[in-house]
Structure 1
Amino acid sequence: MTDREPFRTRIKVRHYELDTLGHLNHAVYHSYGEVSRLELLEASGALKGLQGVAAVLLETHVVFRRELRAGDEVEVTCEAKFGTGKTFKMDSNIIKLDGTLAAEITCTLGLMDLEARRLVADPRGRFEAAGADLKLMSTSDD
């Protein structure tokens, strides 16, 4: 067990991201998750260190909890969860600044060998070998 906090990215809801009901369009929640995932990969050093492979999104799921409106500011968490096999999770919560949970995003990813066009084994090991800061990427001590 650890008391580390997950990585966070702050985003302001923009007017052009709204739907006809005046709240954040459903597809933009996915974009916010992507922003947080890429910010985490960059901050951890993974994007610089990985050679010949890239993270690919295999599945994403959003649970909408509260609406977001223009001008709202949110923090989008992101945390990698590694297990065994070729895939790993990167989960996010979109949280209003008052602490209200607006959405939960769960994603399954893999690292694709860009030449072979196949997922590589042991993505955690590849991140580690690339010099990525695994303590920043995950609050788990595994």
Structure 2
Amino acid sequence: MTEREPFRMQIKVRLYELDPLGHLNHAVYHSYAEVARIECMEQASRGSTVLHDERVSPVLLASSINYRREIRMGETVEVTCDAKFGTGKSFQIEHHIRKLDGTLSAELTCTVGLMDLERRKLVEDPRGRFERAGYDMAVLSTAE
């Protein structure tokens, strides 16, 4: 049996994303992870509008990062996205940002929930909500 691969996408580093030292600004790593989360969820939705129609949306609750290797102008990186569901109202999404040669540049762990936009509260069972909304759980998580 082969191990499943997480969702992945490529992003090219642009000049305005650099800091004064000439490498990717620390905040941009978080932006790259956010871009990957949005793309992953869009792909997993398979065009479903159920969550939107129910006024439920993913919300970022926390984000932490470990920087490993610098990223410089003109490089292209690959950003992965892999959800880890548990039993509570929140779940974890892990991101790895790698150079195209495979060098790990950063690891991010994000805590995410699904928020009822009317009540401004997290909903129960986010995994179940995604599933009932028709999301492809295998796109969101390698554990599926």
For the residues of structure 1 that align with 2:2 and 2:42, how far apart are their CA atoms?
Answer: 23
Residue deviations 1:81-116, cap 9 Å, x none?
A: 100010001110001000000000000010000111
For the residues of structure 2 that align with 1:77 and 1:137, how far apart are their CA atoms?
Answer: 10
Partner residue, 2:20: 20
Residue 5 in structure 1 maps to residue 8 in structure 2: no
Residue 3 of structure 1: how far off its partner (Å): 1.2
Residue deviations 1:33-76, cap 9 Å, x none?
A: 00000000000017633131000000000100000000010100
Match of 1:70 among 62, 73, 90: 73
Mark the runs of 5 or more structure 1 residues left unpaired by the alignment.
Answer: none
Match of 2:111 among 108, 112, 119: 108
Contact 1:2 1:140 (8 Å CA) reproduced:
no
Helix, strand or coil at the partner of 1:40: helix
Helix, strand or coil at the partner of 1:131: coil
Mark the runs of 5 or more structure 2 residues left unpaired by the alignment.
Answer: none
Match of 1:117 among 101, 120, 126: 120
For the residues of structure 2 that align with 1:32 and 1:49, how far apart are their CA atoms?
Answer: 26
Superposed counterparts of 1:21-40, under 5 Å: 21-40=21-40
Moved more, 44-53 or 129-138: 44-53
Moved over 6 A (4+): none
CA RMSD in angstroms, aligned pairs only: 1.3
In the superposition, the TM-score normalised over structure 2's length comes to 0.94
Residue 49 in structure 1 maps to residue 34 in structure 2: no
For the residues of structure 2 that align with 1:8 and 1:21, how far apart are their CA atoms?
Answer: 28
For the residues of structure 1 that align with 2:5 and 2:99, how far apart are their CA atoms?
Answer: 16
For the residues of structure 1 that align with 2:79 and 2:131, how far apart are their CA atoms?
Answer: 24
Helix, strand or coil at the partner of 1:71: coil
For the residues of structure 2 that align with 1:128 and 1:12, how far apart are their CA atoms?
Answer: 32
